[in-house]
């Protein structure tokens, strides 16, 4: 247990009682729904935000006000791509290796791990996210253990069992197994949304991809997939060769690929991109790929520090922005990242792409994640009616500096984290 993080619990968040603070006030409130409010307040009722504004706007009738001086209250961050159950591989894998070699090393590093280890990793990962201001995670895992663990965690979660299977003959059984796992989980609620997804176009047969992509009843969040992450993946689809292709052939010797298409074009030609999908990475895209992603309203999750870990080239940010593709941020797993802080991801992104306005960077970790989830106005912003998922970070703010720049480029102490109005870190 991390110091300062309250114990886990089951069930929906308690309704704010009369002894709990209803109004939070800080030096600034950054709403992402309008300009920052100096001396701003947030009024919370029944797990939702009732009002945002100055104290005069609160209809204050003597309710307790929780003052958080030298702080900014802002929306809780949304990690749009992580694998919490892989936390036990933290620090074990060398940087900069070819992707297939990393996969082999990861498998070895997980040798002998059982359900308890995966669950512990997912639990610690969720706590690390909360302590660093992340209130929502879109998580993927192969074992199903994180789906079990996150049901009892005070973080808002969209955990997915991630299916793999290049052999078309296993597709039916894999989906049936996932459905069985889902049926055995605690029921979904406002905070917990378990689902089923696939891993990647290179690790799943088209039949498995289709069965999962088309079955919208398998999840409440978007269909997520790793796509166009590495140069090896592009070589596999475009040229039918390379280290990743050889790796996949060893797993499934009768693998056949219609070469010539990029991973995105391959998915598109086969009708495997449901509208509103969420694709992780997308480092290697051409103009046609970007057009397809925009046309299918696919959101892209960029994972800045994971990309740096692998030394992946690419990520055509300018083209994606120009096409209006919804861009989110994720940490990926601790097998290719040193931590799960989205503040660190924003800082890395800001260093790599200083031309992007800082408010837009913050939107990638708030508003855009909510849009990818189909929850615009509900998450990622502070406005009346939204879930009361907010954080307070310590900041004195120098008037000469841009507040958004300070948020995305500095290390912050997270003073308070509330999910559904419940203070889970304070």
Q: How many residues bind Zn ion (CB under 5 A)?
A: 1
336: its two tokens: 């290719």
- One symbol per residue from 289 to 328: x for binding Zn ion (CB under 5 A), - otherwise; what is it? ----------------------------------------
Complex with Zn ion: residue 332 or 406, whichever CB lies closer? 332
Interacting residues with Zn ion between 373 and 392 (CB under 5 A)? none
**Distance in Å, CB of 306 to Zn ion, minimum:** 7
**Distance in Å, CB of 368 to Zn ion, minimum:** 18
**Distance in Å, CB of 127 to Zn ion, minimum:** 20
- Quick check: 227 and 264 in contact, CB under 8 A? yes
**Distance in Å, CB of 83 to Zn ion, minimum:** 6
280: its two tokens: 């992780």
**Distance in Å, CB of 9 to Zn ion, minimum:** 29
Stretch binding Zn ion (CB under 5 A), from 67-75, 283-291, 331-339, 384-392: 331-339
**Distance in Å, CB of 77 to Zn ion, minimum:** 18
Query: Nearest to Zn ion by Cβ — which residue?
Result: 332
Whole-number Å distance between alpha carbons of 311 and 288:
24
Stretch binding Zn ion (CB under 5 A), from 11-19, 25-33, 69-77, 330-338: 330-338
- State the virtual CA torsion across 343, 370, 143, 263 in degrees, nearest 10: -90
The pair phi, psi for residue 286, each rounded to 5°, is: -105, 180
Whole-number Å distance between alpha carbons of 151 and 283:
32
Complex with Zn ion: residue 81 or 119, whichever CB lies closer? 81
Interacting residues with Zn ion between 332 and 351 (CB under 5 A)? 332
Complex with Zn ion: residue 200 or 407, whichever CB lies closer? 200
Q: Nearest Cα to 211, choosing from 250, 169, 255, 261?
A: 169
Q: H/E element holding 380?
A: none
Neighbours of 158 (CB within 10 A): 27
Neighbours of 108 (CB within 10 A): 12
Whole-number Å distance between alpha carbons of 424 and 426:
7
Residues in contact with Zn ion by the rule CB under 5 A: 332
């Amino acid at each position: 247990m991390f110091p300062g993080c309250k114990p886990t619990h089951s069930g929906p968040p308690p309704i704010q009682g009369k002894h709990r603070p209803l109004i939070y006030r800080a030096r600034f409130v950054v709403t992402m729904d309008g300009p920052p409010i100096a001396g701003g307040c947030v009024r919370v009722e029944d797990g939702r935000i009732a009002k945002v504004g100055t104290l005069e706007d609160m209809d204050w009738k003597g309710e307790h006000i929780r003052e958080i001086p030298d702080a900014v209250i802002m929306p809780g961050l949304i990690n749009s791509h992580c694998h919490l159950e892989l936390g036990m591989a933290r620090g074990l894998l060398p940087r900069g290796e070819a992707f297939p070699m990393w996969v082999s090393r990861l498998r070895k590093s997980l040798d002998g791990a059982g359900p308890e280890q995966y669950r512990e990793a997912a639990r610690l990962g969720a706590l690390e996210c909360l302590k660093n201001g992340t209130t929502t995670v879109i998580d993927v895992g192969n074992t199903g253990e994180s789906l079990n663990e996150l049901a009892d965690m005070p973080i808002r979660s969209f955990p997915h069992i991630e299916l793999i299977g290049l052999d078309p003959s296993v597709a039916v059984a894999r989906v049936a197994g996932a459905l069985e796992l889902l049926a055995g989980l605690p029921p979904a609620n406002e905070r917990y949304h378990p689902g089923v997804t696939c891993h990647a176009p290179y690790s799943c047969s088209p039949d498995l991809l289709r069965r999962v992509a088309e079955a919208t009843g398998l999840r409440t969040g978007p269909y997520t997939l790793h796509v166009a992450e590495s140069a090896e993946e592009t070589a596999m689809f475009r040229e039918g060769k390379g280290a990743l292709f050889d790796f996949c052939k060893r797993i499934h010797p009768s693998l056949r690929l219609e070469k010539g298409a990029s991973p995105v074009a391959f998915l598109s030609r086969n009708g495997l991109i449901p509208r509103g999908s969420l694709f992780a990475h997308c480092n290697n895209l051409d103009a046609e790929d970007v057009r397809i992603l925009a046309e299918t309203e696919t959101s892209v999750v960029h994972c800045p520090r994971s990309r740096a870990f692998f030394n992946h080239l690419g990520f055509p940010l300018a083209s994606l922005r120009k096409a209006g593709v919804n861009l989110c941020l994720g940490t990926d797993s601790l097998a290719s990242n040193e931590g799960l802080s989205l503040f660190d991801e924003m800082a890395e992104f800001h260093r790599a792409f200083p031309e992007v306005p800082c408010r837009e960077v913050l939107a990638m970790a708030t508003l855009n994640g909510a849009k990818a989830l189909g929850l615009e106005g509900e998450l990622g912003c502070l406005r009346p009616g939204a879930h009361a998922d907010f954080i307070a970070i310590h900041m004195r703010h120098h008037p000469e500096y841009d507040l958004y720049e300070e948020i995305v480029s500095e290390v912050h102490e997270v003073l308070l984290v509330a999910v559904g109005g419940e203070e889970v870190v304070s």
